[in-house]
Every structure is written in structure tokens, then in C-alpha cells.
Structure 1
């Protein structure tokens, strides 16, 4: 009996020691705001809309980072992240876990991860030339994310390696029968002091064999309170692609601007912005985006969209801030309109965000 008790105590001690090498960190964001949108009625020029939205600056989320230090510079890593609607308490998407991946990280050989995760276009945008310094993009108004081809891919294997200021990533996603997420792509970025530059390419194939190709490049510079960035992005659609509608989530007015009707051949977006930290608590930012499209059916002329947003953010603490945002959208050249036929729209949001 005493021997059995001794053996059990030794097993418990050794198991507790193994568990002690692992860490699980819970993190999250709770963000809610009040938003006004003009020109939302069934007739152009009518129908102002007021909403409580589940995230003006950031989508609310709850996540878990898991790390196990296995010695010799090798770690096991994993992430689970759920997105939620803070105004109703419901899930923000059909996929409960917006990220769900596991991998290995080596101090010498880089990192490999497997599962549902961010793609290389989203990674380069948010890590290298994010639209705003204090928040990569505005959740309620994010036309640039509309060119990141869904931002995530299922069934992905991603490899990341860093050396000094240089970072490279490669991704491959399995098609797996009826999945629309068969992909291959990569990114390269370089950070030198306050200057960063990079680019990425991604190709995704749908179940009919049609492809969408995404390319982006840009740079950012930080000096004291100033942050300046500029970028270019392009999506090219095979005629008949099944992915056009799915890859326009961030585009304002996507009901008409998207490629779901198989009429968009190529879309280019040029963007530039500046953020200024007025005081330790106050950040001011502005950003402009210009989108041009060519068409398969509608005609030889380009259709255009102009987007502008300005934000004031006040930090009560390191974790809690309040924000006020104003945005303006304008479509031109006839082919692009909102669902009600309007060609322009104003929007404004005020809200509170807490990060933990």
C-alpha cells in the first residue's frame, strides 16, 4: 500500500512538472459603438440608419494562446479565437473558431502552423503598413481588408522564418474536395528601424478550377508622434469564379462592387494615411483609399470608388479607449452603386473598446 502511494505521488509530481512548462493565456476585446449611416433607404437620398454595432474599431473576440516550452529552443504553440457580436451576444460568423491552429516554433528554424489561420495578404497589411498605428484597421469601415481575399484560409500549412529585420512566410491550403480555399502564396517584409516595407502574393482556386490572384505591396514610416503609410493592392478574377462575392467582405457597398456577378476582371486599390499622437492619450488619424475596376461585361471603362475615414481615439488606460470615427464613400462612372442606387454615403461611429 505504501509502495503504491509512493508511486502515485511520484507520478503526480512528474505530471505537475510537465504541466508547469505549458502556459495558456486568455485574451480578448469587447468593443461596441453607435453608428450612423446616411442614404440607407430604398430610394437614393433617404433613409438615415442608426445602429448599435458590435465593434467600431475592433471586432469583439475571445481567444486562447497556448505555449509549451520543450527545451532546446523548441516550443509547441496553438491558438483558438472566437469572434462574437457584443450587441447581441451571438457568434459573429458560422465558423465558431475564426482561428484554430497548432504548430511548432524553433529558435533556429522558424515556425510551422497547421489549421485555420490568417493568410499572407492579411499578415502583410496588419504587420507592415497597417492603416492606423493604434488599430490596424477600422472594423466598421475597412475597404482595404476587402482585397485580402477573405483574410483567412481553412486547411492551411504556414511556414514563417525571421532573420534580423527580414521576415518571410509561405502558405499552402488543401482544397479537400468541395472546399473553396485551395491556396498558395507568400510574403516578404523588411523592418529597418522606423521604416518597414513588404509585399505578398496569394492565389486561391475554387472548386471549378477558376482562380483569384491577390497582390499587395506597401511601406510605413514612424517618427516620434507621426506614422505614415502607403500601399497598393490588386485582385484579379477569372471569369466565372465562384469566389468573387466571398472576397469583398470589407468593401463598403459590396453588394454592387463585388465580383459575384462575374463582371469584375481586375480591381486595384491605392491607399495612404497618417496618424498623429497629439498627447499620450489622444491619437488622430486619417486614411484615403481609391479603388479602380475593369469589367468583363459592363464595358471598357473603369468603375471607381473613393473612400475616406478620420478617427480620434482617446486612451483612458492601456486597455480601455473611446473613439469617434467619420467616413465617406463615393462611387463614380456608373457601374458601381449602393443597393438603393445611391452613389455616395456618410457614416459616423462613436464607441468604447476594452482589451484584456
Structure 2
């Protein structure tokens, strides 16, 4: 009996030691905003409590196990939620779900559902706003990220000094619309960061969507300035056309969603840290779109998007913000109620943990 108790105590000690090598971090964001929108319903304005003005509310788990010799096992699970109602924000409960290996000498290999390389280059290198990569409730730039995530992905990241490279491949696996490959390259040294990326996604019909982006950012004292370009090119008759061209904003409909030939966007922005607590930012996006159909062959649809943000940090984790935005469309792009113009504003509070 004593021998059995001793064996169990040794086993428990060894198990505790093994677990001690792992780090499990619970993290999240809770963001709720009050939004006013003009021309929302049959031309009338709309007032809403929205589940995230600057950031989508989320709950996630990061896991790291130090295996020695500069080698680590890593994993991530991240769930997005509607903070105003407590409901699920998307059909995929886990917006990220991946596991991988990270080496100090050989980079990082991850497998599972992850952000794609278009999203990676944008948020890491020339994000629209320094303190928050984009405005969750008003993000025209994300409309060219080709879904922002891919399923069944294998992604390799390597970083040496100021240079970072990434490659992604997704098999597609039968009836999945996420067969993809692409890569990015970025340089970040001192106040300067610039880079570019390419991604191709193929549907089950063999039709392809190709995305390209390039840009840079400059940070000097309280100033942050960024400039970027992006394009999406669509094969005619593809199944991904409607998914990737449903709008540059979540509530924008395109009258020719399955007939888009090419979409381009140029964006420029600046932010200024007025005080240690108060950050001011402004951004402008200009998009153009061409079509396959004979009726729209000579039509170049256009979109003008502008936003201003004032963000006040109460602490490192809690901030309040005021956002103002304006949208103007031309050509074959409209809002759901057929409006061409729309204004909006958000007052909100966000907490990170």
C-alpha cells in the first residue's frame, strides 16, 4: 500500500511538472457602441446598440508549451460574440482554431483555421489606425481581404531581423471553397514598415479570385501615416464572387455581385497622439470596380469612404471612442435600400483583458 501511494505521488509530481511547462492565456475584448446611421431604412435614420464599434467582441485562448532548445508548441482558439445580445457572431463558432510549432531558428508552422496573408500584411504593416487596425463597424479595406480567414490552412512564417515572410496553402478538401495559396513579404525597421502580399483562392468550379496588396507606414513621435493599395480579380461565373463582393461594408449590396471583373482600392490615413490618453485619426478609402456584363462593361463603379476617430484611453485596457463616417457610391453599387450616400457615428467603450 505504501509503495502504491509513493508511486501515485511521484506520478502526480511528474504530471504537475509537465503542466508547469505550458502557459494557457485567456484573453478577450468586450466592445459596445451606440451607432446612428442616416439613410438606413427607406431613407430614414437608425439608432442601434452595436456589438463592437472599434473591435468585434471576442473570447480566446492562447496556449504555449516550452519544449526546450528554442522550440515551442502553440495553439489558439478564438470565439467571436455579439456583446449586445450575447449571441454567436458568425456561423463558425471558432473564428480561429489552429495548432503549431514555433522555433527560434526556423520560424513558425501553424495548421487550422487562421487569418490569411492579406489580413496579416495589412494589420501588421499598414493598418488604417495605429491603436486599432480597423473600425469594426466601418471597415471598407477588409472588403478586399478575400474573407480574411481560410479553413484547412497550413501557414509558415519566418522572420529574420527586419524581414518577415509568410506562405499559406489550403487544400480545399472536396466541396470547400477555400483552396488557396499565397505569400507575403514585409520589412520593418525603425519608423518605416512596408510590404506586399498575393493570395489566390479557388472554388469548386475551378474559378479563381486573385488578390494583391502593397503599402507602407511611417511612425515619427506622435505621428502615424499610412498608404496602401489593393486589388481583387475575379474569374467570370465563379462561386466566390457573391461572397467576396457582397460589399465593402457589411450592409452594402452590390447590384452585380456575381458580375465583378476587378476591384481596386487606394487608402491613405494619419493618426496623431495629442496627449498620452487621446489619439486622433482619419482615413480615406477610394475604390473602383469594373464588370463583365455588356450592360455594365463601360461602367466603372466608385466608392468614397472617409472616417474620423477620437480615442481616449482611461487605462491600458479600457478606452472610449467617438467615430464619424461618410460613404458615397457611384455606378452599380448601392446600399440595401438603394441609397447612394450614408453617414454614421459611433460612441462606444471597449475593454481588453
1:33 aligns with 2:29: no
Q: Is this contact kept in 1: 2:191–2:220, CA < 8 A?
A: yes
Tell me the secondary structure at the aligned position of residue 33 of structure 2.
strand
- Provide the C-alpha distance between the structure 1 equivalents of 2:267 and 2:254, rounded to a whole number of angstroms: 18
The Cα shift of 1:161 comes to 0.4
- Provide the C-alpha distance between the structure 2 equivalents of 1:303 and 1:47, rounded to a whole number of angstroms: 25
Pairing 1:214-253 to 2, within 5 Å after superposition: 214-248=211-245, 251-252=248-249
Structure 1 residues not aligned, in runs of 5+ = none
Q: CA RMSD in A?
A: 1.2
Pairing 1:15-164 to 2, within 5 Å after superposition: 15-42=15-42, 46-164=43-161
1:296 corresponds to: 292
- Provide the C-alpha distance between the structure 2 equivalents of 1:337 and 1:9, rounded to a whole number of angstroms: 69
CA gap of 1:248–1:355, structure 2 versus 1, over 3 A, is farther
Which of 207, 226, 233 aligns to 2:204? It is 207
Tell me the secondary structure at the aligned position of residue 205 of structure 2.
coil
Q: Is this contact kept in 1: 2:247–2:254, CA < 8 A?
A: no
1:324 corresponds to: 322
Aligned length: 351
Q: Deviations over 1:304-354 (max 9, x none)?
A: 00000000000000000000000000012x322222222110010000000
Tell me the secondary structure at the aligned position of residue 193 of structure 2.
strand
- Provide the C-alpha distance between the structure 2 equivalents of 1:94 and 1:336, rounded to a whole number of angstroms: 26
Q: Is this contact kept in 2: 1:245–1:258, CA < 8 A?
A: no
- Provide the C-alpha distance between the structure 2 equivalents of 1:136 and 1:258, rounded to a whole number of angstroms: 29
1:174 corresponds to: 171
- Provide the C-alpha distance between the structure 2 equivalents of 1:337 and 1:131, rounded to a whole number of angstroms: 24
CA gap of 1:4–1:10, structure 2 versus 1, over 3 A, is same
Stretch moving more, 238-247 or 99-108: 238-247
The normalised TM-score by structure 2 is 0.97
- Provide the C-alpha distance between the structure 2 equivalents of 1:65 and 1:338, rounded to a whole number of angstroms: 38
1:286 aligns with 2:268: no
1:274 aligns with 2:270: yes
Tell me the secondary structure at the aligned position of residue 244 of structure 1.
helix
The Cα shift of 1:131 comes to 0.2
Q: Deviations over 1:25-58 (max 9, x none)?
A: 000000000001101122xxx2101110000000
Structure 2 residues not aligned, in runs of 5+ = none
The normalised TM-score by structure 1 is 0.97
Structure in which a larger fraction of residues adopt strand: 2
Tell me the secondary structure at the aligned position of residue 124 of structure 2.
helix
- Provide the C-alpha distance between the structure 1 equivalents of 2:32 and 2:249, rounded to a whole number of angstroms: 19
The Cα shift of 1:92 comes to 0.3
The Cα shift of 1:187 comes to 0.4
1:335 corresponds to: 332
Stretch moving more, 221-230 or 300-309: 300-309
2:305 corresponds to: 307
Q: Is this contact kept in 2: 1:142–1:250, CA < 8 A?
A: no
